[in-house]
Structure 1
């Protein structure tokens, strides 16, 4: 197989993953995802980009049937909470910048960055985020958490699993019932498992309605 053919095969597989992903709401409750495989999915998801590589996402994986029952009313009684193998709560760490020293220290140890550069980055970002208005920190954390969430769902599809992102839940009750510290902002819930019914096919707006070059159309 030529390099070009190999590249085309990889490209086709990637496009299949994107096109086959559906928001699935009915799951085979007999299918369980092992902790080992779940960790692999999450690890691959964390390869998503983030501002200054600070990776302010955190995951609470809820795979206990008892806790899924507890989550059900908080998530507007959406049945996939019970049927899916697990529900992953994606949380944004509003104090994620405090991990800067570890993040850049790992880069130094791997030979990716000089120690002096890492030190300057740590000082810069800790100072920047510590002085930033809370709403600005939240906005940045939400962006990064959205990026990792989409990557997580694509990784799951590539491994043969299905997902659905859920914004329909009560974040205040979730924080209360699951004892979430104040530094973590609930972003979304993602049900993950094996579909019992295929997700509905959906259509997207024509590209000319959403993409513009160099200037936006006048209102």
Structure 2
């Protein structure tokens, strides 16, 4: 008996095309600029990503000034995309994101998503929980959430016709000093965004059989 696989809808095919077309691009048109309005829309869509307790600890520092990109260049070990891209987005994790818990859950009440009583219990629970956590635990949480929003950001950018590359190679201490990043904010990654002049290199992926195991892991 043959089982016919359901065909993809147009929306599904477009979504899968965005995933397949995303590449890590390192050559950008230095004359192309992304408007602040378009950048804000990309970031707004990216923030639909999930986060622990919906605290949304991501914070974005958008560096699109030519002078500041030049300042960033040596900190990024002279990666040329820093100055060629329209902008470099620093994704930061707010180590004190619990301080906006009341605002977030108040907005949920106003939107009709939960009662005021439920929101109050959530605020009390999460504020108490995060205040008692050691810094390394909070750092792990905001790094995970920062990774989620970063991937979503890059897919949204691709859907809008832009190109990106995530960059983890930089001097974190010098970056924080040069851009006055306080200890409240933990850098997660930097993402160059703009219009490609050369496509990203095609890459391969391991077979899913090499990376996926059901119910138990193989012996080492």
| Other-structure match for 1:61 | 62
Three-state SS of the structure 2 residue aligned to 1:214 is coil
Superposition deviation, residue 30 in structure 1: 1.2
| Other-structure match for 1:172 | 173
Which stretches of structure 1, 4 residues or more, deviate above 4 A after TM superposition? none
Superposition deviation, residue 193 in structure 1: 0.2
Superposition deviation, residue 208 in structure 1: 1.0
| Other-structure match for 1:86 | 87
Superposition deviation, residue 182 in structure 1: 1.1
Superposition deviation, residue 206 in structure 1: 1.0
Distance in 1 (alpha carbons) for counterparts of 2:116 and 2:47: 24
Superposition deviation, residue 48 in structure 1: 0.3
| Other-structure match for 1:136 | 137
Q: Quote the RMSD (CA, aligned, Å).
A: 1.0
Distance in 2 (alpha carbons) for counterparts of 1:95 and 1:194: 35
Q: Where in structure 2 are the equivalents of 1:123-162 lying within 5 Å?
A: 123-162=124-163
Superposition deviation, residue 158 in structure 1: 0.1
Three-state SS of the structure 2 residue aligned to 1:140 is helix
Superposition deviation, residue 160 in structure 1: 0.2
Q: TM-score w.r.t. structure 1 length?
A: 0.97
Three-state SS of the structure 2 residue aligned to 1:74 is helix
Distance in 2 (alpha carbons) for counterparts of 1:195 and 1:91: 25
Superposition deviation, residue 125 in structure 1: 0.5
Distance in 1 (alpha carbons) for counterparts of 2:174 and 2:120: 40
Distance in 1 (alpha carbons) for counterparts of 2:216 and 2:9: 33
Query: Any unmatched runs of 5+ in structure 1?
Result: none
Q: How many residues align?
A: 215
Superposition deviation, residue 164 in structure 1: 0.1
| Other-structure match for 1:119 | 120
Q: TM-score w.r.t. structure 2 length?
A: 0.96
